[in-house]
Amino acid sequence: MLTRIDHIGIACFDLDETVKFYRDTYGFEVFHSEVNEEQGVREAMLKINDTSDGGASYLQLLEPTREDSAVGKWLAKNGEGVHHIAFGTADVDADAADIRGKGVRVLYDEPRTGSMGSRITFLHPKDCHGVLTELVTSAKEH
């Protein structure tokens, strides 16, 4: 069962400048940052609040580390802006299987490692009214 909005992913050309904007404008601080080589991105997670299920809600700022990454291709086509929405779940495997059974294409056969050690998969935007949708099971320590 989906329990919360885990994060909104925002694609950007310059991660440092975008972090500065969110810090200076809204007071959001970087909770976690990393480079995800598999996804080809450098990212910063800005924590917005904690949630009643023990998780949190974040803005995820994404700068591509290579032009051929999914985010790099998306930026070249669309420019900066909202890239995806992610819903939190206690069991990404079960929820992905349930959603697949309803005719929605799940992009990964097996969940992959996402930010902060989470387990993730994506749903095809053409099956979700144009919205790239991510399912996230947070790592226990976050």
129 belongs to the catalytic site: no
How far is it, in rounded angstroms, from Cα 77 to Cα 88?
28
| First CA to last CA distance, the chain | 19
Out of 32, 83, 134, 142, pick the active-site residue.
134
Out of 39, 67, 84, 124, pick the active-site residue.
84
User: At residue 24, what is the residue type?
Assistant: D
39 belongs to the catalytic site: no
134 belongs to the catalytic site: yes
60 belongs to the catalytic site: yes
83 belongs to the catalytic site: no
Out of 39, 43, 63, 83, pick the active-site residue.
43
Out of 17, 32, 60, 124, pick the active-site residue.
60
Out of 7, 39, 63, 83, pick the active-site residue.
7
Per the structure block, which two tokens stand in for 27? 């007071």
List, by residue number, the catalytic residues. Answer: 7, 43, 60, 84, 134
